[in-house]
Amino acid sequence: MIKLDSLSKHFGSTVVLDGIDLTIDKGEIVVIIGPSGTGKSTLLRCINFLEQPTAGTMTVGDLTVDVKKASRAEILSMRRRTAFVFQNYALFANKTALQNIAERLLVVDKWPKEKAYRRAREILDQIGLGEKADAFPASMSGGQQQRVGIGRAMAAGAEVILFDEPTSSLDPEWVEEVLGLMKQLASERQTMMVVTHEMSFARDVADRVIFIDGGRIVEQGPPSEIFYNPQDPRTKDFLKKILATNPV
Amino acid sequence: MDVLNVEYMIGLVPVLLRYLPLTLQLAGIGMVLALILACLFAVIRVLRIPVLNQLTIVFISFFRGTPLLVQLFLFYYGLPQLVSALTVIDGVTATIMGLTMHFSAYMAESIRAAIVGVDRSQTEAALSIGMTNGQMMRRIVLPQATRVALPTLMNYFIDMIKATSLAFTLGVTELMGATQKEAAGSFLYFEAFIVAAIMYWIVVELLSKLQNHLEIRLNKAYSR
């Protein structure tokens, strides 16, 4: 379970997140939509503490922290509970696909080498890249790299996987294979928070769609409500624009 | 022009070869210590650790801003004058100290630049999975920075091998010191120094080969 209470993030005088209150149940698939620059990615980055939130409290699993007073140990613990999938994949360039997935298990969780690599191989097979175990990121397609990125997040055994526009950097030909893997994870009821412009994914997979604008949650609900019966004029306006180029 | 005394040159090779290990030892130990120190300085500079950062900046400025020979004389002749306990420092130790500090100053800046050059996405990914700063440095940043810094570091190593020749000014009989003695005895300066020069050259060429080999290995991850 994830619970955010009045989570805020300021960059200087700019308010990017303005008191976000949000509860996500275990196994829930949440898709976050909204115009560019409204704080969607910052919200995910704050949950993973890649950005230190300015104020609020955050609960992930059995750990609750006051973000302002979070100790180094609490930040590390929060990061270990929340896996991140980056828009630009961000695979470790000096490590093979297998090592990218095993890294967290070896270094952070201190698993024995054999056990960590066995688990990493299982994940590689699961994401359909068993034959790419020894390939370095530079030799893989964007789609393959992002699948390894998701595999790395899966290895973490995290409470939630945070997807930050996971298909935005991909050539169209690779988008489906990544979305397919995300759908597979969703069907296994892995808790997910996904920032994306893939509206058909939001409609088909999400349990809940959250529309964010100006650093605030404007509207949220099941995809059927948000897409077919939005209440707030800002949601209507956003959907009108985005569905014109990206129909569900 | 007199003809070169080739026979003397050939005879000199085994004599000078006996002193080559000391030259390699000075450079080898100097390089390892300089590398350790340089990594430490680079991390201090990148993380801007208070006080240590300022001290490192002064250290680097001094050891880059003064001639190596002056530094060697300071360690060998100067320090024992100030602290009598340091009279135990012999020429070999003073040379290693000088080479280590002088080259660590240069290498620290190369390593720092290489660390800063590692893409931010790499550090974010490392932090996102819960690595500590130390783990991130050791597992992700330094290995990637090494690839970038390697050609420059190898250049410094080559420079250091040649710089060991200054040790003879502290009375150390390494390759250069031995050559000087042989030449002074035979008056065949050209022959003696050309043999020494070729020896340095061969060592550096072998190192260049090693550098190529290492570069190919480190670039393996980046070839498509």
pLDDT, tens only, B74-126: 999 998 888 888 788 899 999 999 999 999 999 999 999 999 999 999 999 99
Yes or no: say if B56 and B41 are a contact pair by the CB < 8 Å rule.
Answer: yes
The minimal CB distance from B121 to the residues A79, A90, A108 is found for A90
The string of pLDDT tens digits covering residues A163-186 is 999 999 998 888 999 999 999 999
pLDDT of residue A242: 87
Interface test with B, best of A44, A92, A144, A152 (most B CBs within 10 A): A92
Minimal Cβ distance to B143: which of A79, A94, A152: A94
Among A47, A49, A94, the residue to mutate for chain B (most B Cβ within 10 A): A94
Average pLDDT of every residue of chain A:
94
Instruction: State the pLDDT confidence band at B1, using cuts at 50, 70 and 90.
Output: low
CATH number corresponding to A2-245: 3.40.50.300
Contact between chains at B124 and A93 (C-beta distance less than 8 A): no
Nearest CB neighbour to A136, from listed B135, B143, B221: B221
For residue A237, the model assigns a pLDDT of 94
How many structural domains comprise chain B?
Answer: 1
Q: What is the mean pLDDT of residues B7-13?
A: 94
CB contact (8 A) between residue B139 and residue A103: yes
Show me where the domains of chain A are located. 2-245
CA A127 to chain CA centroid, Å, is: 17
Q: What pLDDT is attached to residue A248?
A: 66
At position A204, the amino acid (one-letter code) is D
**Strand-by-strand arrangement of the A14-24 sheet:** A14-24, A2-11, A55-60, A63-66
Q: What percent of chain B is modeled with pLDDT above 70?
A: 99
CATH number of the domain bearing residue B103 = 1.10.3720.10
Between B197 and B221, residue with greater pLDDT: B197
Q: What residues in B contact A94, CB-CB < 8 Å?
A: 140, 143-144, 147, 221
B1 within some domain:
no
- Name the residue facing B129 among A77, A93, A104 (closest C-beta): A104
Q: Which residue of A has its CA nearest to B134?
A: A107
Up-side HSE of residue A74: CA atoms within 13 Å toward CB? 16
**How many Å lie between the alpha carbon of A108 and the closest alpha carbon of chain B?**
6
pLDDT tens for A49-60 read: 999 999 999 999
Query: Residues A179-218: pLDDT tens digits?
Result: 999 999 999 999 999 999 999 999 999 999 999 999 999 9
Confidence of residue B220 (pLDDT cuts 50, 70, 90): confident
A73 has pLDDT over 70: yes
Flag whether pLDDT at A157 surpasses 60.
Answer: yes
Please report residues of B whose CB lies closer than 8 A to that of A139: 223-224
The answer to whether A90 contacts B124, with C-beta atoms less than 8 Å apart, is: yes
Residue A246 has pLDDT above 90, yes or no: no
Residue B194 sits in which domain range?
Answer: 6-220
pLDDT in tens, B34-89: 999 999 999 999 989 999 999 999 999 999 999 999 999 999 999 888 888 878 88
Q: Which residues contact B223 (CB under 8 A, 6 or more apart)?
A: A138, A139
